[in-house]
Each structure stands twice: as structure tokens, then as C-alpha cells.
A and B are shown apart, each in its own frame.
Chain A
């Protein structure tokens, strides 16, 4: 078995993607990756060159790679790090992750907003979760709620046009599998690479949604980005990891199956297969109110779930 050659220059390849039937040397992979990101941004009309972009940064490989690619493409992209106050026996996960985000911002002269949940709201995510029904078994539900609230608030308060997250194809395929297994059609309707701004929600975009997770990792490694390699201690045994593992087992025997699963869904969705039959019913079920405490949109007719969580602290 010979070594692979770069599809571009025929030199020795360092990374191969079976589903694309492509292999690249380091410079050509980095180039290809940036071009593909630009293509996805354009394909889904995610944002314009003049838009102000807020990048949700966790300190991990995906979000730092996204921030790196966006500023290299010339976008005005600032970062947002949310310190969740998570630590474990293995280490100080949140503070370590923040250090990677701050170092990246410092090295590249980029602006980073930091929101420390414990300092700002009086409790860390594990503390919030421990006394909440939503987080009693695992704090991930509470964590998602807090992050969504803070990301939208900062994006609105600071006047950003779009909030970007580094969800990759493995993330999207795992969510799609989860929603499909439960036939959660309402959630399938809302899964898309870009969600328009509406009723107080800022526009959201996922420029990495067509990359496999190993591709974003390869970009970070080949670019020399230093990132938090440790996993969130609460992610152990998560449903998302179980689905990712299942999808990767299928990918090993059938290259491209993850991509086909997700891309096929997007095509079906665009063709209207997941659209509500009755538009009025759908709009009613999505009717949003303004939270009297924080002013953010909420489905409940009173304080939003975030404010109820914080108030109970």
C-alpha cells in the first residue's frame, strides 16, 4: 500500500478524506478548507462581508478553527467565551478553555468578550443544574439554556449582525439522528445551516456544517492552533456521543454515509418535506412573548426559562 499524494500538487499528502476522494499536503489542505468555508457561507447566504460577526468560542478545536478561518477571509469577527465554571479532578476545564481562547485572541489581535457565569449570575453551571429539574441527571440541558441566552444577549447588546457557532457535520448528523429517532418534526423544521433573525433572536449561522469533525481537527492541527483537548467532564456518556459513535461505525464501512444523511436531509427540507401543512398552526405554536425581566423572546407567557433559573438561585 503506497502513501497518498496531494490531489492538488502530487506531493506527499498528510490528510485524506475518503468520502471526497481527496488527499492534500499541508498548504493545500489549509487552502481547500478556507475555500470550502467561503463556499458554504455563500451557498446559504449566511452573512455579507460588511456584517459584524460574533463567534461563539469554547477554546476547542472547532470554534478556534472557525474564528481563524473567518478572520483570514477578512470578516470582522469577534469572539465570545462563556466561562461555565466547570472543573473536575482532571483539571480546571472552564478556566483552561478560557486561557486557550484568550491566547488565540491575543496572538491574532482579535477582540474577545468573556462572560463569567459564576461572577455575573452568582452560580456556576453545575450549581444551577444541581437544584434544577432540567439539570438533575446531567447539567447539559441547563448549560445549553444558559449559553443560548447569553449568546443571544451579547450579540444583541453589542450590535452584531450574526452569531456563528462551529457546529460541524458530525454534530449536525448526530442531532438529526436523535430528532429522527424520536420523529421530532418541529425540531427537524428548525435544523438548518442558517436561521434568520426573528422576534428578538439574532441571526445564527454554522459555516462548518459541511465539514466532518476530523476535518476541523486536522485544520487546527495543521494550522498550529493550540486548543483545549480535554473534554467537558459532563460529556461522558452523552447521547450525542453515542450517536456520533454509531455514525462513525457506519462511515468506516460506507464512506460518505454521514455526509449523505445530512445533505439528503437538507435537500428534503428545502423541497418542503418537513414544512408544516398548516402555516397558521405553525406560527401559533411558535408564538413568542417578551420576557418581562430580561426582554429576550420566550415561548412562555411570563419570565423566560433562563430568568426563572437565575431567580431561583
Chain B
């Protein structure tokens, strides 16, 4: 049996286990360990198992994961998500589709405090959904906006997606975070365009609402000063060399905690809820990471990546064509496999291939994250749509999936723009961590 064949069997086993309902992290572990035994025998495989688990759990750079999750939870507990939505609502709510626009802007703002798409969708959805329905917004537009807006959580830093990518590819977390800012703003803008198109074609989806008075607008703006301060201090601290992007996670969590105290929302129950949820989400991420740390070396060991790369090289496509094929494959796989798991499973093969084509690893990280965002909202396994349908109990899942289509198209446009103008991703990291010459 050739190594590449064992590698393929490993993938087959992995997908079989996942289809049965084995949690992704444990499916990676089982397939990885079985494959490693086939490649190197039991004793080496047994060694890999505990060694990799420990190496992952004690990896300094991964300390950002629990800290960013904590920051998001604290921010949500102190009511910052509501403030964000309010300010956008007061200023643009009176426009046609304005509340949907406010939701997208709120999501973008909250994304700067939250590393997870699901958390962003839940948090903003809770605030925005009842409001949009109250003003007569259509089911499709209101749920689609939340599901799609939530995905900004992994593009605008901080982002668990970038942390995983950085860990798996040994790239700088800091550079990836900074690289996500402009594409994140661009995608926010494209979402707003999508909303404008929707309400132009179907005005009933997002009717205009009575404008807010100036006093209300400024009051909401002042209230949002808290969150703006946290974001500016965190980004400013990185830019000003006060702390590293890894440390920014802890600093952000500290600010969010301070906000909780200042707003007199700190109670035992709140703290215990925040800690409990932070631990559970951290466990979710690390289970997958540990599984990946066993599965990825097995795939490298099997030699499968080289075989696949050889096949791709043989195709008469050129770098752009190959890249398009990869993106297409992700769009399809993203339909059935949850985003972060998909990245973890495929990077051992795709990353060397993309580097071989001569693409910039930071830029590809951004592309990768947008493609994962598409997966988060595409049927049948669109995690963000599931989340939204738990908030909007009265709306059918099919309606949510129909509602995200325009936003999915906006993501395609974003990917194409990034391919045409890679500077959108590389400009900021290149100037912020500026060269001395």
C-alpha cells in the first residue's frame, strides 16, 4: 500500500466518522492515529498522540484564543453590542433598508471585539432581529442580514479563523489580523450595497422608518463611546508598540471587564456565565486543534500533498486557474463541513500547493477566511443560519438560506476583488509594520 493511498483512506475514514456524527475533533484524532499507526507502527503513533496534544495545549501563541473569547463574552455581557446597534440604528435607520444596514454595521463593530462568527451572529441577532421585525422588515432580509453580518466576526480582527491559520502555517498572527481589516471593511461595504439592491428590487423587505431626533442620535453616539474606546485602545496599543497582538487579547478582555464593572453589570451570575461560556467555547476550539495536530502530520507523512500538488501541476490551468479551482472546491466543501474544521482538514494539502503557485501566505489567509465565511451561510450545513433560526424561531430555515444569497454573492465579489487587487489585504500589514527603508 502506498503512503498516498493510506492518506486517502485516512480522509475517507475521517469523512465517514464525521458523517456518523463523531465530533470533528475526535474524528480527526481517530483518523489521524489510525493513519499514523498504518504509516509508522503503534509505538510512534502512541507517542505522537500525547506529544501533539500537549504541544498544542501549551502553545504560547494559542493563549489568544481563550482571551479573545473572554473579551467577546464580557463585551456582550456589558451591553456593548446593544450600544453598537443603537448608534447605527439612530443614524441610518430611517433610510430604506436602514435597519438592515445598521445590523451589518453593528456586526462589523462587534466583530472588532469578538473572534467568532457564531458569537457575533447570536449577540447582534438578539438585539437587531426583534427591532427589524417590529418595523415591518421582511423575514428574508432580517435573518439573512444577521447570518451574513455575523460572519464578519472572523474577518475583522480578532479572529479565531486567523489564529488557527497562523498556527497551522507558522505565519504571524499580528500580520494576519491587520491584513483582515481592509477586506473586512470592504465586505461590510459590499453587504451594504447588497442591502441597497435588495430594497430597490423589493421595497417591502425593508421599509423606511421614522427618523430619530438629533438628541437621540447623539445620546446613542455617546453611549457607544465605550466600545469605540476599547477598539481604539486595543488597535492603538498594537500600533504604538505597547503590546503585541497576542497580548492585545488579554488587554481587550481587561477593558471589557472594566466596562462591565463601570456599568454596574458585574454580578456573580454574570461572571459565572461568562467564564462558563468562555471555557466551553475554548474547549470546542482546542478539541479541533488537538485533533488537527494529530491528523495533519499523518497527512504530511503519507505524502498525499505532494501527489495532489503533482496532479494540479499537470493541469493546464496556470496559477490563477488553479487558485480558482481551489476556491471552487472550498465553496462546495464549505456547504457540508463547518468552516474551521474544513480549514484544519485541508490546509496540510492546500497550503503547500498555494505557496508553490507563488501566492502570498498572508493574502491567502484572508481569501481562506472569506471562503470559510461563505461556508458558514451556505446550505445544508450553514452554522450561522442555524444560529439565526434559533433566534428567529418563527422563521423557517429555508427562508434564512434564501435570505443570505445576496450576501453570499457579495462574498464572491469580495474574493474576486482580492484576487484582482491583492493590496487590499497586504497594504495595511506592509505599512503598519512598516519597513525601515
Report whether chain A binds chain B: no
